[in-house]
Chain A
Amino acid sequence: MTTTMAPAVGHSTERVTQGRVVTSEWIKLRSLRSTLFSLLAAVVCTVGFGILISALRANDFKQHGFIPGPNFDAAVISLRGIYLAQLAVGVLGVLMITGEYSTGMIRATLAAVPRRLPVLWAKAAVFAVTVFVIMGIASLLAFVSGQAMLHSAGVGVGLGSPGAARAVLGGALYLTTVGLLGVGLGFLIRNTAGAIATLFGLLLVLPALAAALPTSLYNDIYKYLPMPAGTQALTTVHDPAFLGPWAGIGVFCVYAVIAIAAGAVMLRRHDA
């Protein structure tokens, strides 16, 4: 049999490098239809619902002659679709990992990259950059078009107004972090249903459970929960019951870092 290939075996030019693993993960991410569908859904939710909610609110303001008070936050109205988009982005983050475990692909992946951790870093990086760029654009589109609606009611703000640009950026950051939390949980739990349930349990169910706590305890704890903390990045008016926007997204990132660290330990220590 004849095979054509450079003869050197284990030559330095053929080494597995972090950069090459990133290229590999980029090929993987863009070659699945689920990536396209999830991101499309996330963009449609962000922009579509942003416009819809802004239009409804603008109509309402026009009919009832609304005069905005000091706590009125125009930016967050146009970014409200992000609350829905997080479902699609979170599922994508989980599937990027558990899809490999459920199909057995992970064994081919880890046989190619036996040191394993480069795979986790590459997946997280490729996912984060892709989601941040696409959802950043979606967040901006939602803001601009949503504010145009609100402007017709005289309450719209521009990107230059205090905190607005940060809120748009915050939307992209929040979604990226939701997805990274999903990536971490995917590596930790390895099972699609389990990881998705855990992710949205943390994001959506935890705040509802916290509501059952005594008031004083609730006030101390609630603002540190993942979603109440992370979504402060979408606001331009600070509610003293919550963390500030940067502190909030910072706390949210800590959750994602913990999940990814736990996922890394699981990946490194356990049989594939």
Chain B
Amino acid sequence: MCRKGSSFYPLSMIEARGLTKRYGDKLAVDDLTFTVRPGIVTGFLGPNGAGKSTTMRMILGLDEPSKGTVTVDGRRYADLPAPLHEVGALLEARAIHTGRTARNHLLALAATTGIGRRRVEEVIQLVGLTDVAGKRAGGFSLGMGQRLGIASALLGDPGTLILDEPVNGLDPEGILWIRNLLKALAAEGRTIFVSSHLMSEMALTASHLVVIGRGRLIADVGVDELTAMTSRDLVKVRTSAADRLSTLLAGAGVTVTRQGGEGLEVSGMDSAAIGLVAAQAGIPLIELTPQQASLEEAFMEITRDAQEFSTHPNVDQLVGAQGGTR
């Protein structure tokens, strides 16, 4: 059966409400509230140690929240009657017994919910492990281990997938494979929640982002929105006739700043318009560069003060500033 469109998983949502996890006197996750929606890939982004894995373990009922709740399809994970059919998970540290073959690992998990051998062979083929399915998982490379983890996540054909750092340690081919797989699964209407500490990776897969730092929510925004929000919208211009050009450009909504003898920084006007003005006035340009912030820079900017070992915590301010964009 081919699944297209979102009609198959109408209510597959992950909803965290005031989710908090305390280890001793350390708050690993602090009052997180967010919703992961179906039909798109949602990236779960944050520096190492931000609390991503802890949050994912709480979604799966492996760790008990100190406060707050998290539900899948409106139910606590522990209350799902057939969890593998509703939520598939790939956990960061490989959750595979090293002494068991890939096939037996999958057969054992499948048996808990009555999934048969046929489906096990299917997912083995789907993730490209057919040749090594009879080999013990202890000898697997990181990439093969990740593929086996994804195979277990797909066993029950779940409407929700939770993947903790799926591209970690993968070769370029494997990364591309996961990217396309996630997009395809989302296009089928599933809810996909993927964590990463790499913004560049998320920029290529996710269309929505939940960004956390030191356990707290920093942003819950669309990827486009985030770029726009943090983009500096500047054009860098260099010309020998800097004075003349700046006079020509200055006007309503346009700010021109001098940067040394030949340099200008223009905001409020895009590079095409600047180029046209210069050409009409016969001004030769040495450089004309749009300065759009990359997602990576955007991420660095919003998480700068929420790095685990940052010396000047400033998270409250960021949450205050970014929280309103949701």
Contacts and interface: CB of A to CB of B under 8 A. Distances in A.
Given A2-B2, A104-B95, A15 B113 contact: yes
Contacts of B101: 31
B97 A99 contact: yes
A26 to B, nearest CB: 8
Given A3-B126, A111-B83, A271 B114 contact: no
Interface in A88-109: 99-100, 103-109
A11 B85 CA distance: 9
Contact of A99 (B1, B83, B99): B99
Interface in A1-28: 1-5, 7, 9-16, 20-21, 23-25, 27-28
Contacts, number: 146
B108 A24 contact: yes
A14 B98 contact: no
A3 B108 contact: no
B286 interface: no
Contacts of A24: 108-109, 111-112
Contacts of A106: 95
Contacts of A104: 91, 93-96
A103 B97 contact: yes
A3 B91 contact: no
| A interface majority secondary structure | helix
B220 interface: no
A20 B104 contact: no
A31 B104 contact: yes
Q: Quick one: which of B3, B84, B104, B113 has the most chain A CB within 10 A?
A: B113
A2 to B, nearest CB: 5
Interface string B174-206: 000000010011011000000000000000000
A248 to B, nearest CB: 36
A14 B114 contact: yes
Interface stretch (B54-62, B288-296, B312-320): B54-62
A109 to B, nearest CB: 8
A161 interface: no
Given A10-B80, A24-B111, A31-B108, A110 B97 contact: no
B63 interface: yes
Contact of B82 (A11, A23, A31, A100): A11
Interface residues of A, number: 42
Nearest to A24: B111
Contacts of B8: 7
A112 B86 contact: no
Interface string A203-229: 000000000000000000000000000
A1 B89 CA distance: 19
Contact of A112 (B83, B94, B96): B83
Contact of B97 (A10, A14, A32): A32
Contacts of B77: 114
A14 B2 CA distance: 20
Interface string B19-63: 000000000000000000000000000000000000001001111
Given A1-B185, A105-B95, A272 B62 contact: yes
B100 interface: yes
B298 interface: no
Contacts of A110: 61-62
Interface in A22-59: 23-25, 27-28, 31-34
A238 interface: no
Contacts of B115: 14
B64 interface: yes
A14 B157 CA distance: 12
B188 A108 contact: no
A9 B86 contact: yes
A108 B100 contact: no
Given A14-B82, A271-B64, A272-B63, A108 B95 contact: yes
Contacts of B62: 107, 110-111, 271-272
A104 B107 CA distance: 17
B57 to A, nearest CB: 7
Given A1-B184, A16-B113, A108 B81 contact: no
A169 interface: no
Contacts of B64: 271
Nearest to B187: A1
Nearest to B162: A111
Contacts of B95: 103-108, 111
B165 to A, nearest CB: 14
B248 interface: no
B156 interface: yes
A253 to B, nearest CB: 29
19 contacts: A1-B187, A2-B3, A5-B119, A9-B9, A9-B159, A11-B82, A21-B112, A28-B97, A99-B97, A100-B97, A107-B91, A107-B93, A109-B109, A110-B62, A111-B91, A114-B61, A114-B78, A115-B78, A272-B63
Given A3-B154, A14-B81, A114-B83, 12 more contacts: A1-B188, A3-B122, A3-B157, A9-B159, A13-B114, A16-B81, A24-B109, A28-B100, A103-B94, A104-B93, A107-B62, A111-B95
Interface of A: 1-5, 7, 9-16, 20-21, 23-25, 27-28, 31-34, 99-100, 103-115, 271-272
Closest 8 CB pairs of A and B: A31-B104, A1-B184, A5-B157, A108-B95, A24-B111, A14-B82, A105-B97, A271-B63
